[in-house]
Amino acid sequence: MATLPTTNLTLADWAKRRDPNGSMADIANILSQSNEILDDGVFKMANGPTSHRVTVATGLPDVYWRQVNQGVYPSHGTTAQIDEGIGMLESRSEVDIALASLEDDERALRLSEARMRLEAMNQEMATTMFYGNTAANPEKFMGIAPRYSSLSAGNAQNIFDCEGTGGGAQTSIYLIGWSDETCHFVFPKGSSAGLEQKDLGEQSVDIFSAADGTGTYTGKMQALVDWFCWKMGLVVKDWRYAARVCNIMVSELAGFTGKQAMTAYTTNIIHQMAEAIYRVPNLGMCKPAFYMNRTVHSALSRMAMEKQSSVLTIEQGLSSYGTARQYLSFMGIPIRRCDAILNTEDVVS
């Protein structure tokens, strides 16, 4: 694939640039280690504190053939402005001061607690990236699935139906072409990549019988408190640079049977993934990647190992935080595993 300009930065890139003391970069690396979306996703600073206003083309200007001494009419394209929201995800870590005093390295103990918090935030953010729906949950941002959810919508040519009818037993594969001008994440204007962490020091905290802060009140405890916040939104500036292969029957993937038989040219995921690639106008102006859950990923991995498909290969590469790894690719496009993608999606119709 073509190399994108250096303006197309990942979350880790932005964190390194905007936080000289390195704390946000450390958090970005922890997030990237368990979220493959962050290896590919392009991040851009929003033009507002709570949303990003994007101008999209809705019509092209008229152009004319002419002869010498003939004129042409002036023309202009048409555009529309869309406000993409930014969600705010928060968490607090509270470590008993008595427990912290037993540790030789208090910072390591607090970091271990932070890792669990960040992993929970990671999973929630990945789920929102695919399924967030601001109509139902206005505090979140709009994900990919609700944008590609109707076979009769204006973007239906980028939705590929595998014809599963299992009543909530389907999954999807998503293709996203990342760049500043196609699909990208945003974080609030002026912030450190949308990531914030504050050491709130020692505080008296209320303790309840349930871990989620509910149940019987049992008293107070002195604790070391850390606060985490992640602000992010998703912008699909050009809908042609994303696609969804939907209605994949999970039960047919184990043996590639039924609609997933290799000879089922109009419904098999290999053929539909190829169709999705050719709906993207120009792969050279974006960083494309496929996203699927472990059920689909394992099925394609088996196919690659058994050499059942020449377009599926196992590649060597580096993650965004610099470690070597193997990854699966389809026609040269990396395939990422994301367990936020459900095996219980409703039928897209």
Segment 86-114 shows an average pLDDT of 83
DSSP state for residue 192 in the 8-state scheme: S
Segment 324-338 shows an average pLDDT of 88
Q: Please give the pLDDT value at position 209.
A: 79
Q: Which amino acid is at 327?
A: Y
Confidence of residue 1 (pLDDT cuts 50, 70, 90): very low
Q: How far apart are CA 254 and CA 200, in angstroms?
A: 50
pTM of the model: 0.85
- Angle (CA) 31-33-37 rounded to 5° is 75
Question: What tokens does 92 get?
Answer: 């607090």
Q: How far apart are CA 293 and CA 170, in angstroms?
A: 12
Residues 6+ apart with CB under 8 A from 152: none
Strand partners, 318: 324
Length of the chain: 349
The dihedral through the CA atoms of 14, 18, 22, 26 has a sign that is negative
Segment 210-231 shows an average pLDDT of 85
Q: Please give the pLDDT value at position 325.
A: 67
Mean pLDDT of the chain: 87
226 and 100 Cβ atoms separated by less than 8 Å:
no
Q: How far apart are CA 24 and CA 44, in angstroms?
A: 16
Q: How far apart are CA 151 and CA 106, in angstroms?
A: 54
**End-to-end Cα, the chain, rounded Å:** 33
